[in-house]
Structure 1
């Protein structure tokens, strides 16, 4: 797959300065879409709990700067969305296997939303040092706006004029929201139970999977699965939350219905921090391809652009309501939802159990660029590489061109199989192969 980097330029600096005892943090914003390019400020106001907010932002930064797979650490650019009376900071680990999001709710901020939108900010060393220096009695003013990134403290000033938004982050945003949408709440831990749980995490880089279960009034980790236990792959990744343990009111544990991935939501009352773990340390969210099946039916580009013009950042996304209000077939709305997901425009809030909209810079051609299996499936159709052998009574059999070989694809009801190596290795757990996709697109 060719690398697709998004070059984002900023015209002015984001700043963190101290003036009259007040920390003022102004985050730059950028946009590819013309309707929000000239907005100078999305939000301006005070943070009601500067110390806790700083601790959570440092935790988010720790996630972004970490790596648990072959990809070396080096990223430090959380995404920030402002709108609908809340602000979300989110990002991935460099290996793309850990997703974190900080939701600053209405009670966590005291200011004015002048517009809604999304930005990219750089958490470099001066920013981290400034956040580390925040005291409990300090005041902090947060602003989201302008067009460059810079940080000013008593020790100096740092300016970031240009950043690259990694394509695997957008692919990760695509996959992780589908995992989150399929999760159910399993456990709810109080403050004492949270401390006990983290004290039981094995030291060092432990291999293999662990299972979280409740025994009596305690939660324990075991390498052996039991009834109602939650599988946690790459258990050492949970240590990313250690810096905020003393502040957590409760910790809610979720698991995806297939038992693959898990999420831990630290609730502080006025803000929440979500940590989502991919199935294993070596598996990043960006390579899953679990959105592809919903993208078989094409939708007009104008529909995607229209929804983007209609919705604000952080606004709850209700496809059923949109279908009814705009007289759109429910199945087609599912495809439109998948198209929005495929370029990172939808997130999922576990607390509200609903999707929300995220304004990101995008171009329609990135739907294919970021989903090579979909692109290759369309190529198979354009070159007549798919031959239907049987298509009747809910049973489809086809021969599909491969690399020097013809693969057999069988689709029966909700089940599908292919003789290619991708299907053999993953058994459908990481999305459909291009051969099954092509057959479904032809027979749809």
Structure 2
């Protein structure tokens, strides 16, 4: 699938004038409504040293790859609004998701507008971030100010950056995994350091588990009843740059025990890193969003909410239903639909969704999933036949390549006779045949 080419009007810059450090993040968006906004946020960082360490970790993630996709520079996206700033990104292989949640107390400034955009983290700026000290003053601008002195002293160039479609697809899946996670372990600073001292060296194969023995956490190859599985354990080294300054680390596990996430707590901000089941598997290919895409979300609803909600605003479906006289069943459908197209993120610590104004046209987001397209093609070609339908049981046949596939849905789950289901048993999302039957019924 072709990546998007973005043209930046300038480059991200980090300058120091008369002892004051200024960071301006160049931005670009497809949404015309915010193209003329000079800046989303302008202010200072209250804890620049920790913030810089977290940004450097994000940069490390987006430049890494643990699968067949070669590593390449990919720019994070940043959401500003509701007194918060969030930075998000994926590894090039799409198997590691990272997000920095900057709380209101971590920044001191003015939110000029609310929105989400992709930003440019270039090498000179990252090198400067690594040199920031604890007592320095750093000014942050999310966006580009036309009247900045720092931009006047910087050579303005047009820069092309590729934004992979895999990222947009990853955003439609990862928050569904996060919403399915529960807290497994809580580690203090000493326990965290002790745990990572047992991290195996090199790129190791096979499953590892986080276990607790006599009050001490460690990595082990032995599965225990209370152990937490880590697929591709070498990916945890991405966190090494922030472990020494983290106050606590919270470890979460999904209900199916396939995915996990770690949240580093710094007081004024939190850094979340989620890991796909294995190093060779990316969130974009898991297909978890498919089960939530059987009902089409009217584009008018999406645009309506986009004008109603701000970036980072807590998404409370119950309050929205009451405030705008929307039927609860309709709101449930809308919530699932918004999650499946990446417009809702999930805050693990707060246990709630937040709204994300993606900088892409809605039509682009809605047209990304090939399995969804293929399922609808099966329906349009009348290749789905319901054989039996009764409470708690559905049986159907779906035409395949020279064969008829059998789909069964009952209390034991959804099953199909196709090769995809046989290979993955539903662990990488439902197949196009099951999806087509779900849409029909």
Superposition TM-score, scaled by structure 1 size: 0.94
| Greater mean deviation of Cα atoms: 265-274 or 13-22 | 13-22
Give the distance between the partners of 2:366 and 2:45, measured in 1 at CA.
40
In structure 2, the residue matched to 1:394 is 392
Q: After the TM superposition, which residues 48-67 of structure 1 pair with which residues of structure 2 at under 5 Å, given as runs?
A: 48-67=46-65
* 8 A Cα contact 2:9 2:156, kept in partner: no
In structure 2, the residue matched to 1:376 is 374
Does 2:192 match 1:194?
yes
| Greater mean deviation of Cα atoms: 367-376 or 404-413 | 367-376
Q: After the TM superposition, which residues 109-258 of structure 1 pair with which residues of structure 2 at under 5 Å, given as runs?
A: 109-146=107-144, 159=157, 161-258=159-256
Could you tell me which of 285, 288, 292 is aligned with 1:287? Answer: 285
Which secondary structure state, in structure 1, belongs to the residue aligned with residue 98 of structure 2?
strand
Give aligned pairs, total. Answer: 438
The change in CA–CA distance for 1:4 and 1:327 in structure 2 (over 3 A counts) is farther
| Greater mean deviation of Cα atoms: 55-64 or 119-128 | 119-128
In structure 1, the residue matched to 2:409 is 411
The change in CA–CA distance for 1:367 and 1:334 in structure 2 (over 3 A counts) is farther
Q: CA deviation at 1:328?
A: 3.0
Misfit runs of 4+, over 6 Å: none
Could you tell me which of 325, 332, 335 is aligned with 2:333? Answer: 335
* 8 A Cα contact 1:73 1:95, kept in partner: yes
Q: CA deviation at 1:158?
A: 7.7
In structure 1, the residue matched to 2:86 is 88
Could you tell me which of 270, 281, 294 is aligned with 1:296? Answer: 294
In structure 1, the residue matched to 2:362 is 364
* 8 A Cα contact 2:82 2:114, kept in partner: yes
Give the distance between the partners of 1:215 and 1:158, measured in 2 at CA.
56
Give the distance between the partners of 2:210 and 2:11, measured in 1 at CA.
45
**Alpha-carbon deviations, 1:170-190, whole Å to 9, x = none?**
111111100100111111111
In structure 2, the residue matched to 1:6 is 4
Name the Cα RMSD after superposition.
Answer: 2.0
Which secondary structure state, in structure 1, belongs to the residue aligned with residue 242 of structure 2?
helix
Which secondary structure state, in structure 2, belongs to the residue aligned with residue 87 of structure 1?
strand
Give the distance between the partners of 1:245 and 1:60, measured in 2 at CA.
14
In structure 1, the residue matched to 2:38 is 40
* 8 A Cα contact 1:83 1:113, kept in partner: yes
Q: CA deviation at 1:12?
A: 4.0
| Greater mean deviation of Cα atoms: 125-134 or 188-197 | 125-134
In structure 2, the residue matched to 1:313 is 311
Give the distance between the partners of 2:67 and 2:257, measured in 1 at CA.
21
In structure 1, the residue matched to 2:425 is 427
Superposition TM-score, scaled by structure 2 size: 0.95
* 8 A Cα contact 2:29 2:118, kept in partner: no
In structure 1, the residue matched to 2:27 is 29
The change in CA–CA distance for 1:317 and 1:300 in structure 2 (over 3 A counts) is same
**Alpha-carbon deviations, 1:327-355, whole Å to 9, x = none?**
33334333322332333221111111111
**Alpha-carbon deviations, 1:103-128, whole Å to 9, x = none?**
11111111111111112122221121
Give the distance between the partners of 2:425 and 2:97, measured in 1 at CA.
25
Q: CA deviation at 1:81?
A: 0.9
Give the distance between the partners of 1:365 and 1:147, measured in 2 at CA.
30
Q: CA deviation at 1:244?
A: 1.2
* 8 A Cα contact 1:294 1:334, kept in partner: no
Give the distance between the partners of 1:144 and 1:405, measured in 2 at CA.
54
Q: CA deviation at 1:32?
A: 2.3
Give the distance between the partners of 1:423 and 1:216, measured in 2 at CA.
42
Give the distance between the partners of 1:158 and 1:209, measured in 2 at CA.
48
Q: CA deviation at 1:100?
A: 0.7
The change in CA–CA distance for 1:147 and 1:92 in structure 2 (over 3 A counts) is farther
Unaligned segments of structure 1, at least 5 residues? none
